[in-house]
Amino acid sequence: MEPITATELMELASQHGYPRVVVEYPDGKSRFHIAGTPDGWILALPYLEQDGVLELVYRTLLNPQLSTPPPLPPPPPLPEMFSEREPLVWNLLDEWFVRAFQPDDLQAIRVMLAYAEACEYPELALEDYNYTIPNDLAGWLTAAKLMCGTPAVALTTELLRNRLYPQQQLPLQEG
């Protein structure tokens, strides 16, 4: 059998409705979360190709019970400072959000970006994901696209919430 190509994998993902998938790497130490949207798959393909795991993702798509991601936790409430206003970011990007994210993921992304705005878009290192979010709005929007539908959104929201309310430190989620 010839190796699977990124184009073939994208076609298969399309046939399966672009499912949310967790790819367990052969080393047993790494996993890759693919958001359940066409954009999530488009963003993931270069990384999957670079890591040489297209065949693994292909087998995962054909055998979905091997990759049932855990449900995402509900996002925490919005920071109090946003109860009386609508952040400018949402005004400008709401239409894009609705097109780019699944409804369940949209609220989690909005909450994460609200906390990021409240913290003035800080640079934030996510060591578990070997990723650092740059300290500007563009960096946070890119991170939202990359992390949508993954546990990284909840982790990032908790880190920001703990930064904003240090007296109410929450334990960080495992996994």
Report CA-CA distances (Å) from 147 to 39, 48, 131.
11, 15, 10
Q: Which residue has the tokens 């499912």?
A: 19
pLDDT higher for 48 or 91? 48
Domain boundaries, the chain: 6-67, 80-168
Rounded to an integer, the average pLDDT of 60-78 is 66
pLDDT digits (tens, 9 = 90+) for 35-64: 888 888 888 888 888 888 888 888 888 876
Averaged confidence pLDDT in the chain? 79
Phi, psi for 21 (deg, rounded to 5): -130, 145
pLDDT of 134 higher than 90: yes
Task: Note the pLDDT of residue 87.
Answer: 54
Task: Note the pLDDT of residue 124.
Answer: 95
φ/ψ bin of 120: left (φ > 0), alpha (ψ from -120 to 50), beta (otherwise): left
What pTM does this model have? 0.50
Please count the residues of the chain: 175
pLDDT of 89 higher than 80: no
